Structure 1
Amino acid sequence: MTVLVTGGAGYIGSHTVLALVDAGEKVLVLDDLSTGHRRLVPDGVGLIVGDVGDGALVRRIVEQYGVSEIIHFAARIVVPESILDPLGYYLGNTVKTRAVFEAAVSCGVRRVIFSSTAAVYGEPRVAIIGEDEPKAPINPYGRSKLMSEWMLADAACAHGLSYTSLRYFNVAGADPAGRSGQSSKNATHLIKVASQAASGERRGVEIFGTDYPTPDGTCIRDYIHVSDLAAAHVAALVRLRAGGPNMTLNCGYGRGYSVKEVVDVVKRVSGVDFPVTLSPRRPGDPPCLIASVERIRSELDWTPKLDDLDAIVRHALDWERRLARKELAGHASAS
């Protein structure tokens, strides 16, 4: 059996590829490398450079390599960008996802794991968000992902697909062994940005909005370590293979930290007091997103191993410093 991982050269995808390989799975990656990195695909794992929206290509891959499951990560993920380019996000996250699901159905792939997001909830009415809370996304990113969730559920009903949709809260950190991490220089994730500031790659951190209805006025998020999230994908795969029913699960730790709290932790762990700029709110940012985690912990054989903000920050900083050393070495060799 071969597991096809779309977007497997990206941040979360590459960590899931590592977790699958560590579990003894045969893995194949499809990625257009627009935001992914070839170097993040581990040795021994095949990489096909191509567009997931090319249905004929996906079908050829499934048939040629005997793909038994698809884990679909490939997507565009920047909320402010989605507001400026909604049609691009509906193309990248909904239209192209349809091509993947259609290929799965036409080629007899029976199991699909879909990468979704807490952005489908919009501005929830409760502090701790359960999977059955109303879905009312407030930006095109969240809407494009919710549309894909609906599409997958409908396809499963019509064609007998088995699936799990995983709604990520805020993903951060890096592989503790240093094999992968968030490698995009222009990333917008807070812990990545703050780690860059602590490493001297940015002048500082900009906090968007200090007047939210939260204790310190800044947004609160539930941060999950990327390696724990990758392990959840493996556990979801095992569950589907055992005949588990179709399900949607939140992926988080069930507690939140404000933007100011996260910045303070990065300063403390790094030992660097980088500048912080306070700016107005960005459009599309809800005040508080914290996962209810009862369902994922009861349904999957999954226990987080890295549920600690200091550890998440430390691994992110280690990866950032590793990237900085590689860049310096590259400049030295070029000169």
Structure 2
Amino acid sequence: MSENRYQQGMGRPEIDIGARGAERKPVGERTTLVTGGAGFIGGNLVRALLDTGRKVVVLDVRDFIPEARFTIGDTAADVPFELASIGDQARVLDVFRVHRPDEVVHAGMILDPAYLATNRTTAFQVNVGGVINLVEAMIAFGVPRIVNFSSIGVLPRVMYEPIDANHPILLADAGPGTDFYGSTKVAAEAMLFAYNQALGLDFRTIRPSAVYGLGMNQFVGPIKAMVENAVRGEPAHFEFGGAHPRAYTHARDIAGLVVAMLDAPGDADRIFYGSTGGEMVTTTEVAQIVRELVPGADVEIGEELSEAEKPVVALRAELSIENARAQLGWEPQYASIRDGIAQYVEDYRAFVEATG
């Protein structure tokens, strides 16, 4: 009969990759594996990591989107790229065997809540099983640290604000507010804590909020259409959503926070919110800023919320970034939404000029 040494009170099993973190290579000698590195946030991550002197390897199910390639710049062609799914354990092990990363940034996931609700096995295999595949590969190859992307979608409803990492994510009468997406993120977070407690895995989790910037997708409201249509001289009119508040966060700030989390001291918190930490901004305010920054912009939005937005707004609240400030020495570069949108406008103009 086998015995579980951990349950028998004999401490952690012999595998303790956390102990190896004390001997981590200097930053300039590290190879960082970035899953989901070919997408919107991924492109900003790759650029920020390269700027620190790291070597970066990207694992994704698709090639770089044009905006990510533009963000990374000419060096994008030199970034080793593995076309693979984190849901495929054998491929993940192959990638680790070939590239021998020193740390991992896990931003690969399926984001679409509607898709996840109708493809539930895939939801588990990728958003939960993918994390397990990465962590098991880290154990096999002695990789000491991972930064895991989660989401504010883990929150069930606002219990207090500003919301910090101690805010409940499971209540007696409510779970994650974004159904299968938020639930898979909660499951992944819980499993990382299990690996930490049992095997010493050194992880940090980031919960980003309303990330915007060049290459963003449609899940953060109409800000993408407002900015990009305005730059192209096209109208952007929306019937609903003006009153919808969000804690907008520029993608460059998310990338900077991830770099800080990779270099976090061993006693730092495990969970950080990716936000600016200030008051929320409504979509009406975003529209006004775009009109001011892009003269002649034809941007309009109605104040009323759509039926789909009404339950989501109940999940919105100011987020605390005090632990990132105190423990990581991190400050958002674009604490002002106006500054962030101005940067987005500038980046999109440059992208259009460069790519047509």
Do they fold alike, i.e. is TM over 0.5? Answer: yes
1:307 partnered with 2:307: no
Q: Is the 8 A contact 2:240 2:301 kept in 1?
A: no
Structure 1 runs of 4+ off > 6 angstroms? none
Please state if 1:12 is matched with 2:41.
yes
What is the DSSP-based 3-state SS (H/G/I as helix, E as strand, rest coil) of the residue aligned with 1:129?
coil
Who is 2:188 aligned against?
148
Residue 134 of structure 1 aligns with which residue? 168
Calculate percent identity across the aligned residue pairs. Answer: 25
Contact 1:162 1:246 in 2 (8 A): no
CA distance in structure 2 between the aligned counterparts of 1:275 and 1:253, rounded to whole angstroms? 26
Report the counterpart of residue 105 of structure 1 in structure 2: 139
Corresponding position of 2:294:
270
Seen in structure 2, the aligned counterparts of structure 1 residues 53 and 257 have a Cα distance that, compared at 3 Å, is same
In the TM superposition, what is the alpha-carbon distance from 1:8 to its structure 2 partner?
1.1
1:126 Cα shift? 2.2
Aligned in 2, Cα 1:208/1:126: closer, same or farther, shift over 3 Å? farther
Correspondence list, 1:45-56, <5 A: 45-56=79-90
Range with greater deviation from structure 2 (14-23 or 192-201): 192-201
Aligned residue runs from structure 1 range 138-217, under 5 A: 138-139=177-178, 140-173=180-213, 181-182=214-215, 188-200=220-232, 203-206=235-238, 208-209=240-241
Match of 1:66 in 2: 100
Partners of 1:31 and 1:147 lie apart in 2 by 22
On the 8 A contact 2:109/2:126 being kept in 1, the answer is yes
Counterparts of 1:85 and 1:273, CA distance in 2: 38
Larger radius of gyration: 2
Question: Does residue 228 of the first structure (1) align with residue 261 of the second (2)?
Answer: no
- The answer to whether the 8 Å contact 1:191/1:316 transfers is no
Measure how far apart 1:286 and its partner are. Answer: 3.0
Q: Give me the whole-angstrom Cα distance separating, in 2, the residues matched to 1:16 and 1:84.
A: 30
Runs (5+) with no aligned partner, structure 1: 174-180, 211-217, 329-335
* Deviation (angstroms), 1:121: 1.1
| Native 8 Å contact 1:206 1:279 kept in 2 | no
Please state how far the C-alpha of 1:63 moved relative to its aligned partner.
2.2
- Decide which of 95, 104, 108 is 2:129's aligned counterpart: 95
Of the structure 1 ranges 103-112 and 4-13, higher mean CA displacement relative to structure 2 is found in 103-112
Which position in structure 2 is the counterpart of 1:39? Answer: 69
- In the alignment, the residues of structure 1 paired with residue 110 and residue 322 of structure 2 have an alpha-carbon distance, to the nearest angstrom, of 28
Aligned residues: 311
Structure 2 residue aligned with 1:318: 346
1:86/1:260 CA distance change after superposition, 3 Å:
farther
Residues 209, 279 of structure 1: 8 Å contact kept: yes
Partner amino acid for 1:286? V
Query: 1:276-325: CA deviations, max 9, x gaps?
Result: 35562316623323211111111112122221111111122223333444
* Distance apart, 1:91 and its partner CA: 3.6
In structure 2, the partner of 1:114 is 148
What code does the residue aligned with 1:138 have? G
C-alpha separation between the residues in 2 aligned to 1:82 and 1:202?
33
* Cα distance in structure 2, aligned partners of 1:108 and 1:59: 12
Distance 2:120 2:94 in 1: 30
Report the CA distance shift for 1:89/1:316 in structure 2 as closer, same or farther (over 3 A). Answer: farther
Distance 1:128 1:205 in 2: 32
Query: CA shift at 1:34, angstroms?
Result: 7.0
Distance 1:311 1:85, change over 3 A: farther
**Uncovered stretches (5+) of structure 2, i.e. residues with no partner:** 1-29, 170-174
Do the aligned partners of 1:69 and 1:112 also contact (CA within 8 Å) in 2?
A: yes
Q: How far apart are the structure 2 equivalents of 1:66 and 1:201?
A: 47
Give the match for residue 213 of structure 1.
none
Closer/same/farther in 2, CA of residues 108 and 61 from structure 1, 3 Å limit:
same
Partner of 1:243: 266
Aligned partner letter, 1:196: E
Match for residue 285 of structure 1? 312
Structure 2 residue matching 1:48: 3-state secondary structure: strand
Contact (CA 8 Å) 1:236, 1:300: kept in 2 or not? yes
Distance apart, 1:89 and its partner CA: 3.5
Deviations 1:12-32 (A, max 9, x none): 121111111111112111111
Q: Residue 88 of structure 1: CA displacement?
A: 4.2
**Using the alignment, how far apart are the partners of 1:104 and 1:59 within structure 2?**
9
Distance 1:144 1:66, change over 3 A: same
2:299 counterpart of 1:259:
no
Quick one: distance in 1 between partners of 2:116 and 2:161? 25
* Alpha-carbon distance between aligned partners in 2 of 1:56 and 1:88, rounded to the nearest angstrom: 17
Opposite residue 304 of structure 1, the aligned amino acid is P
